[in-house]
Amino acid sequence: MKFDTPASANPIDQGRVVGQAVDRVDGRLKTTGRARYTYELHDEVPGAAYGAVVGATVAKGRIVSMDLAAAQHAPGVLTIVTAQSAGKLGKADRNTARLLAGPSIDHYHQAVALVVAETFEQARAAAQLVRVQYATAPGSYELAAAKEGAAAPKTGRGARDSVRGDFSAAFAAAPVQLDALYTTPDQAHAMMEPHASVAAWDGDRLTVWTSNQMVAWGVSDLATTLGIPKEKVRVVSRFIGGGFGGKLFIRTDAVLAALGARAAGRPVKVALPRPLMFNNTPHRPATIQRIRLGAGPDGKLSALAHESWSGDLPGGKPEMAIQQSRLLYAAPNRLTATRLAVLDLPEGNAMRAPGEAPGLMALEIAMDEMAEKLGLDPIAFRILNDTQVDPENPERPFTQRQLAECLRLGAQRFGWPRRSAAPRQRREGSWWIGMGVAVGFRNNQVMNSAARVRLDARGMVTVETDMTDIGTGSYTVIAQTAAEMLGLPIERVVVRLGDSAFPVSAGSGGQWGGNSSTAGVYAACVRLREAVAQRLAVPVDQAGFADGMVLVGDRRIPLNAAAADGDLVAEDLIEFGNLTQKFQQSTFAGHFVEVGVDVDTCEVRVRRMLAVCAAGRILNPKTARSQVIGAMTMAVGAALMEELVVDPRRGFFVNHDLAGYEVPVHADIPRQEVIFLDETDPASSPMKAKGVGELGICGVGAAIANAIYNAVGARVRDYPVTLDKLLDATRQRA
């Protein structure tokens, strides 16, 4: 099905199931422990051996020698895989780092060997016996030190500099100016489920059960890495315990499980321990961002520049922290630029809302600082500079843009009029109290997506697609879509996901999964409705589907009658044509935060949070709310505590476990409220929906920082806003 024009009224608009707050269809499996995650697949993959990864203990250099003798003779050891024994491996385009090192070392904890043994304990013990001698080489590990040598990236979405008008002249002439630097640190995904894979060979055919967000990408990348045809690879990923972008691409665990299984002649399980997850898998790279704003006394921006520096391994891509600044506020003279430094740290890559999340942490502080210079309310200043068209391409309108409505409604619900514009005006006991606001923005991407739908004689419908569920509720919204389209209760829909034997879907990532995958299911259901009508000999354009019946005039025909002589199967693909050329599709939010800051210690407590979101039709308010509050929680971590600390001598992340890398816990999170504007976006997809999950993190960090400033009058531009920085800032203010 080709979709490149706004959808007219369609069966999805009935709202009997889609749009309702339906419980997760997989909820009972997860809460009772019957949902099997990758490393728990004991019955499905019997007789599996266990693999333990040996990681490099230097960040840059070469392997001089590797002594495997003691490990090979350890109890239970079956085989040891190294780059030498594995033979030539390809390098998939989606991986910046090689997934098995040798003889050169690209980063700390890069895999150098896999020890396979009968039990996990035997494999782990034997891995400690592998002796590797390295010749180290000097490396670059600090972004600030490498900043001057950074260059314009050659690859990456929107990597080229963007210029409109004459920024330099307009900024110089602006009566009110802001020129400030902001930094965000390296951050880790720290998802609950580790990267884990189980691999098994059947002759020359490989099956890999893995925790991976993009099944089709996984097939392609495994085939490229191992040098085998894609048709010989099957990837299965039914349940994923958190991804956040860290599981978009095949990683070391999957490749080494496949190599280990081939060498051992039996299935092999591999899971990365926490330290390897921090230093071996992708992370959100640190940024240095310079923002310059120029405006007249009326508050209208005349000049806007956002420049960002980040680092990655050679051949890597930048953190596109400037991308929201190209679309968010109107200003006739604009400059956005990205620079990429070569760093010998573990790979930097996608982490929830890459680009917008760290970019808004800087831009939305700058907007508050500029509002203060102008003597304007921060919300009024943002609304004044709102736009309904792409500021860099005014001929391209937004499909929907209710940003001002998000801010106005949020201000009303949060009690914004009670906020004092001047800092340090509200005190409760030993706490200064402050309120902050920031805009949330995340582009709405769409991806081609296919599905297969089967109707059987019992009146049950089975949906098959390789779409994954990373905790977002994919199983549920897909079931809702099929139930709505075919007039069935959701209990009569079975959803099967995460298997490359099924039609290729959008996959889970970039906030595109829910909207795109359900649109693919929609397309397949349209085909099934046609097949049902043909089998029942009724005109499809006159057939309604409701309550398990096909309704034609006064006739009510049971839906399962169409499958009386055999199952009906339909498959289709949703394709989005040139939508992105015709329209700018984005999602918006107003984020509001209230904090308390201890008068003496500068300890910060987040007291209240509110997100007002405009993201098209919300397919399931219950699961969507869960996504947003999860993202808001992650933003609390980014604002106040999360930082991978780099050892500049040895080139690794020191706090590479959950004891040293701090993330928010229940006690850190207050009451969170989420409001979804009642909107549909017919130009986005037949579902008239958009992505919503990553919108919840975008801007929240800045709202927290702005609330802290409103509480104590001290501005911290270097995240995370920790006690030492805030104490220094308050002393300087005093």
Residue 633 tokens read as: 């929680």
CA–CA dist 616, 535 (Å, integer): 35
Which residue in the list 193, 484, 594, 694 is annotated as catalytic?
694
Query: Cα-flanking dihedrals φ and ψ of residue 602, to 5°?
Result: 65, 20
Retrieve residue 619's tokens.
């397919």
364 included as an active-site residue: no
**CA-CA distance, 416 to 734, in Å (whole number)?**
27
Q: Which residue has the tokens 């009670």?
A: 418
User: How many beta carbons lie within 10 A of that of residue 411, not counting itself?
Assistant: 22
Give φ, ψ of 61 to 5 degrees.
155, -150
Contact (CB, 8 A) for 18 and 484: yes
∠ CA 133-134-138, nearest 5°, is 165
Contact call for residues 509 and 443 (beta carbons, < 8 A) = no
Residue pair 477/620 in contact (Cβ under 8 Å)? The answer is yes
* Per-position DSSP letters for 303-339, written without gaps between them: EEEEEEEEEESTT-----TTGGGGTSS--SEEEEEEE
The CA distance from 671 to 149, in Å, is: 45
Instruction: Give 255's Cβ-side CA count (13 Å radius).
Output: 34
CA-to-CA distance for 510 and 118, rounded, in angstroms? 39
Which H/E stretch holds residue 165? Answer: none
**695 near 440, Cβ under 8 Å?**
yes
The CA-CA-CA angle for residues 713, 715, 719, to 5°, reads 140
- List CB contacts of 11: < 8 A, sequence separation 6 or more: 484, 485, 529, 545
3-state helix, strand, coil in the chain (%, to 5): 30, 30, 40
User: How far, CA to CA in Å, does 720 sit from each of 286, 533, 623?
Assistant: 11, 59, 29
DSSP 8-class letter at 677: -
Instruction: Please tell me the distance from the alpha carbon of residue 575 to that of residue 523, in angstroms, as a whole number.
Output: 10
User: Three-class SS of residue 134?
Assistant: strand
Place of tokens 């697949």: 41
Give, in degrees to the nearest 5, the angle at Cα 481 between 488 and 238: 110
What is the arrangement of strands in the sheet containing 131-136, beginning at the earlier edge strand? 104-105, 61-67, 131-136
Which of 669, 486, 506, 646 has its CA nearest to residue 576? Answer: 506
d(CA 459, CA 528): 13
Residue 374 is inside which H or E element, if any? Answer: helix 356-374
383 is written with which tokens?
Answer: 């609304």
What are the catalytic residues? 694
